[in-house]
Amino acid sequence: MKYYNSIIDTIGNTPLVKLNKVTKGIKGTVLAKVEYFNPGNSVKDRIAIRMIEDAEKAGILKPGGTIIEGTSGNTGMGLALAAIGKGYKCIFTMADKQSKEKMDILRAVGAEVIVCPTNVTPDDPRSYYSVAKRLNQEIPNSLYPNQYDNLSNTAAHYDTTGPEIWRDTEGEITHFAAGVGTGGTICGTAKYLKEQQSSVVTVGIDTYGSVFKKYKETGIFDEGEVYPYLTEGIGEDILPQNVNFSLIDHFVKVTDKDAAIMARRLSREEGLFVGWSCGSAVHGALEWAKENLKEEDVMVILLPDHGTRYLAKIYNDTWMKDHGFLESREFATARDIVRGKNGRSQLTTVPAAATVSEAIRTLNKQSISQIPVTDENGHIVGSLTDATILNKLIEDPTIKDVPVGEVMDKPFKFVGLDNTVDVLSSLIDRENKALLVRDELEQVHIITQADLLAAMTT
């Protein structure tokens, strides 16, 4: 029998996946190291188990102890899983800018979560750093792993992430890119890769509001660079000991908006449902790659976590619009599509009582691929597509004489007039080939994939 003794034994050996669509115009091969395949859905599972096991070996953490950590959520999840496997309690402090999903997930796996204000200095007694340190002092037999300064963080990636990338690229990697937060991921991985091939170039992704890029380039810790930002998991207002600037060759800063939009693109265009800082990593890495990557180069971009942490934020259209991240000049709406048809949007339907042959003639006459089906009162009760008809005719040629109502699919979905193209495109799939919308006069219009393509190119 093949099985794992506990969930923590499944950490690591995550896949490399080639990016195909978001890399348009980029030379070379760009691969994503997809870390949401870890059991806690993030790269932080790797450092969590390493920090706990190193503390056990050092005699710092004993049976029945409590793990206390300041986290943006992902490290907390990794620590919580490790704690379940090893029998420890967990208390996590988090900044109030972190997503509610992250807090709920940590509570779901048995952790206590203490929410602290974001807009305070790191040494303020209310900051999530300070609260974690204080609790560690007050609670007996507790461990404060301190992922920022605990070099087990870097060691975990030196021992696992770096070797995996080197192995899976068969030593062909030329560039490595990752977000920089605690610094352990990029520095541990880069240290290993550069030891194998000193020419490997490391690109660190920073965010506006963080000190890293300017410090790397000038050696100056400029407090004027520090201001609130929304992206979670990268950038800092401190210099963690795990950040070894000598291992990071270049820094690229990415805005909250560009990061959020790229994360959504990765989900839609690559099928990678990833987190916010994953968008930062890809956007920043590709901006750098446009000017620097050659045809023979292989770039690996590390994607640290999963999109479920951000459902109420970057994957919520209302939240995105409220923050100015989705604008009408970038994404047309269903209303715009209907107006753009210039009176050519009169809806063609077929009665449920009509035969399949009659429906085929209507499709051919109107040069359309899908059509709503109506009952005797004109209400839409189903839909029919040329693909559905073709498949059914191949199975049984006699169905051409049966009523459409006997072979029709479920009705197309109705959507709101103000839904944007990116949302509309996510609703069209194998099961739903088109969308319906009612205008202000209650007239029904159909929106097809062709309409969406036209809206994106005008």
Give me the number of domains the chain comprises. 3
- Judge whether 96 lies within some domain: yes
321 among known catalytic residues? no
Residues of the chain by 3-state class (helix, strand, coil), percent to 5: 40, 20, 40
Kindly state whether residues 90 and 32 are assigned to the same domain. no
Q: pTM here?
A: 0.70
Token pair 């509610």 in the structure block, residue: 100
Tokens of 128: 């999530």
Phi first, then psi: what are they for 447, rounded to 5°?
-120, 120
Kindly state whether residues 345 and 427 are assigned to the same domain. yes
Kindly state whether residues 69 and 83 are assigned to the same domain. yes
Q: Which amino acid is at 13?
A: N
* DSSP designation for 412: P
Q: Which amino acid is at 122?
A: P
Kindly state whether residues 372 and 400 are assigned to the same domain. yes
Distance of alpha carbon 65 from alpha carbon 207, whole angstroms:
36
- Judge whether 125 lies within some domain: yes
- Judge whether 183 lies within some domain: yes
Kindly state whether residues 112 and 163 are assigned to the same domain. no
The crossing angle, in degrees rounded to 10, of helices 276-292 and 256-265 is 90
Q: CA-based Rg of the chain, rounded to a whole angstrom?
A: 26
Kindly state whether residues 365 and 380 are assigned to the same domain. yes
Q: What is the pLDDT of residue 342?
A: 61
Distance of alpha carbon 399 from alpha carbon 331, whole angstroms:
42
CATH code of the domain containing 208: 3.40.50.1100
Distance of alpha carbon 133 from alpha carbon 129, whole angstroms:
6
Count other Cβ atoms within 10 Å, centred on residue 44.
Answer: 30
CATH code of the domain containing 384: 3.10.580.10
Kindly state whether residues 58 and 29 are assigned to the same domain. no
- Judge whether 327 lies within some domain: no
Distance of alpha carbon 125 from alpha carbon 286, whole angstroms:
39
Kindly state whether residues 37 and 63 are assigned to the same domain. no
Query: 289, 322, 355 — which closes off a domain?
Result: 322
Tokens of 58: 């050092």
Q: Which residues span the domain enclosing 124?
A: 45-143
Residue 30's DSSP bridge partners are: 299
Phi first, then psi: what are they for 304, rounded to 5°?
-75, -30
Q: Which of 135, 127, 183, 134 is nearest to 155 (CA)?
A: 183
- Judge whether 237 lies within some domain: yes
Kindly state whether residues 125 and 156 are assigned to the same domain. no
- Judge whether 347 lies within some domain: yes
Tokens of 453: 């393509």
Q: Which of 239, 242, 194 is nearest to 51 (CA)?
A: 242
Q: Where are the beta strands (DSSP E) in 48-200?
A: 66-70, 89-95, 112-116, 142-143, 175-179
Query: 294, 322, 350 — which closes off a domain?
Result: 322
Token pair 């660079």 in the structure block, residue: 225
Query: 101, 121, 143 — which closes off a domain?
Result: 143
List 24, 33, 44, 313, catalytic entry: 44
Kindly state whether residues 241 and 276 are assigned to the same domain. yes
Per-residue tens of pLDDT for the chain, all 458 residues: 999 998 899 999 999 999 999 999 999 999 999 999 999 999 999 999 999 999 999 999 999 999 999 887 889 999 999 999 899 999 999 988 787 888 998 999 999 999 998 777 888 899 998 999 999 999 999 999 999 999 999 999 999 999 999 999 999 999 999 999 999 999 999 999 999 999 999 999 999 889 999 999 999 998 878 877 889 889 998 999 999 999 999 999 998 989 999 999 999 999 999 999 999 999 999 999 999 999 999 999 999 999 998 998 999 998 888 777 876 445 678 888 888 776 555 789 999 999 999 999 999 998 888 999 999 988 899 999 988 899 889 989 899 899 999 999 988 888 777 777 877 887 787 777 898 888 777 788 899 888 888 887 76
- Judge whether 1 lies within some domain: no
Kindly state whether residues 72 and 106 are assigned to the same domain. yes
Q: What is the pLDDT of residue 408?
A: 92
Kindly state whether residues 185 and 310 are assigned to the same domain. yes
